[in-house]
Copies of this chain bind each other. A is one copy, B any other.
Amino acid sequence: MTAHPCLADVARRAGVSTATASRVLSGRGPSSAASRDAVRRAAADLGYVPHPVARRLAHRSGTRIVFAVRDARADILRDPFVTRAAAAISAATEPEGLGTALLRLPLSASAELDRLAADRSVAALVLAGHDRTLMAGLPAALRDRTAVIGAGGSDVDSAAGVGALLHHLYGSGRRRIALIAGPRWLAASRAPLTAYTRLIRATGLPERVVHGDFTTVRGRSAAREILRRWPDTDAIATVSDATALGVLQALAADGLRVPHDVAVTGFDDSPLAEAVHPGLSTATHPVELIAVSAVRAALGAPSPGRLFPSRPVLRTSCGGAP
């Protein structure tokens, strides 16, 4: 036995036509118990494996998932969360016989989206960093095979996750809590902001919000901005560990002690969080499950769930009151 047996070989051995063999093996269409048995046996005997590429050509479906990450910065593809998600998606596509291609989308990406819509190798699209405008401009040809990671799709329950961290800050006595939110253009930035606003409203605390971009650099400048505008701030919550790292650096540079003077929280539970000093309180997320869910949804299968838990991980950075 050398080359791969094809459907015709199986059909011949089973004494049926290729059409019948195809129906039996794909499970679609009618078939008698007799032929079903013969075909199955023949396939097993020959070690038949359908040709993935031929199958996709006949089905007019693509061969890869494109994971498109929209961001202003090109180096977003090196972001720890993005690389982890990309790896997870890539691992999730392996058993499907598919592959994953990673692509950055600039903020206005209509040209790239049109290109993807016309690319017949694209089986489905997984989108991160979307907003309403982007979704509205999504080519019709992609609509029914696009899934989103973040608000409206396979998402972390960031309202609950950030909310829990905020409540912990409040519960341990912090009363002047600032938030470094996500970028304004990002749909996923809304939920944590809502959680923050809700706490502020419920408690009557002062509202202190600035916007970040998931980078350490911006974390530093945002922290400085907060301390300049509201010098008595006693806690800074963020929506990414990288941002929180920048905050820790800025505070250290100013001689402020964490958590004594200012408490800090991150988000995502990256390896950073346990590495920094003091240990960063954050929230942990099942990125791999989210990736699988998004891939499933993009491929049109019923996705197991949409909102995934955001579990707080408390370390010393948000310890007791000042």
Contact = CB atoms under 8 A, between A and B. Distances in A.
Interface in A129-184: none
B97 A100 contact: no
Nearest to A123: B99
B90 A120 contact: no
A102 B118 contact: no
A90 B97 contact: no
A51 B120 contact: yes
Nearest to A252: B277
Interface in A108-127: 118-121
A23 interface: no
Q: Please tell me how many copies of the chain the complex holds.
A: 2
How extensive is the interface on chain A, given as a class? 35 or more
Nearest to A64: B99
Interface stretch (A11-19, A25-33, A36-44, A267-275): A267-275
Contact of A100 (B80, B99, B119): B99
Nearest to A98: B99
A238 B161 CA distance: 35
Interface string A50-69: 01111011000011111100
13 contacts: A51-B57, A65-B99, A77-B91, A83-B83, A83-B84, A86-B86, A86-B90, A90-B100, A91-B104, A98-B101, A100-B101, A272-B272, A276-B277
Closest 3 A-B residue pairs measured CB to CB? A99-B99, A64-B99, A63-B63
